[in-house]
Amino acid sequence: MNSIGNEDFSGLRSAVAHGRSWLIAGLIVAMCACLGGEIRSARAANPAPAKTTWDGVYTDDEAARGKAQYNTSCSSCHMEDLSGSGQALPLAGDAFADIWEGQTMADLLGLIQGTMPQDKPGSLEPDAALDVISYILQSNKFPAGKEELKNDPDALKNILITKKAPAKTQ
Ligand code: HEC
């Protein structure tokens, strides 16, 4: 009698354990579905930037100021012609374009302000960093325009860095 009772009990336990693993699997599936939905809605809430680096987003004056700042703060590692040296990657040409493709001006400003110059991170005021960015844009053959790059986070998030000029004519 006793042994049968025990067997019944262990059978029940394994049934419960089995049921629980299905429950856990179900929860994981539900969580993934939910997260996927969140990611999709976050994407929908962030429309593609309205401008690109081909829309004349800096001025020649700004780039000239940026060149002077660049030669003070950056050229010792990234070289005067922006070709880079060793670990200090090129800031012009294909290498730069490939790293920054699809990112925004806000991303570039964030990186420069947060980590560069590597020997003195955070030492550039936002306006000085934006001047340097203008010079980098000019060196990458993006066209100048009539308005300076301004320290306005929303506007900077709205400028996409892209290697190819968009097909639309302006
Ligand atoms: C002391 C050397 C040094 C100085 C000065 C310096 N950098 Fe750098 N920079 C590096 C190194 C090394 C890397 C790569 C490693 C890393 O990302 O931390 C880098 C990476 C970068 C990157 C990311 C890589 C890329 O190709 O996009 C950018 C942008 C950049 N630097 C911009 C600047 C700017 C702008 C200045 C001047 C304000 C500057 N750096 C000054 C050493 C330097």
**What's the gap in Å between 118 CA and the centre of ligand 1?**
6
Burial class (CB in 10 A: 0-12, 13-18, 19+), 76: middle
At 30 the pLDDT is: 63
Q: Distances from the Cα of 18 to the Cαs of 3, 7, 10, 22, 73, in angstroms?
A: 22, 16, 12, 7, 64
How much is the mean pLDDT over the chain?
84
Tell whether the model's pLDDT for residue 12 goes beyond 90: no
Classified by CATH at the fold level, domain 51-160 comes out as: Cytochrome Bc1 Complex; Chain D, domain 2 (1.10.760)
For 26-81, how does the pLDDT look when each residue is reduced to its tens digit (9 = 90+)?
Answer: 565 666 565 555 544 455 556 678 899 999 999 999 999 999 999 999 999 999 99
Mutate to test the pocket of ligand 1, among 69, 76, 116, 139 (most ligand atoms within 8 A of CB): 116
**Mean pLDDT highest for which of 14-28, 59-73, 153-167?**
59-73
Instruction: Confirm or reject: Cβ of 111 under 6 Å from ligand 1.
Output: yes
Tell whether the model's pLDDT for residue 146 goes beyond 60: yes
Domain ranges of the chain: 1-46, 51-160
More confident residue, 29 or 160: 160
What is the mean predicted confidence (pLDDT) over 115-122?
96
At 21 the pLDDT is: 65
Instruction: Confirm or reject: Cβ of 88 under 6 Å from ligand 1.
Output: yes
**What's the gap in Å between 75 CA and the centre of ligand 1?**
10
Please indicate, yes or no, whether the overall pTM of this predicted structure exceeds 0.85.
Answer: no
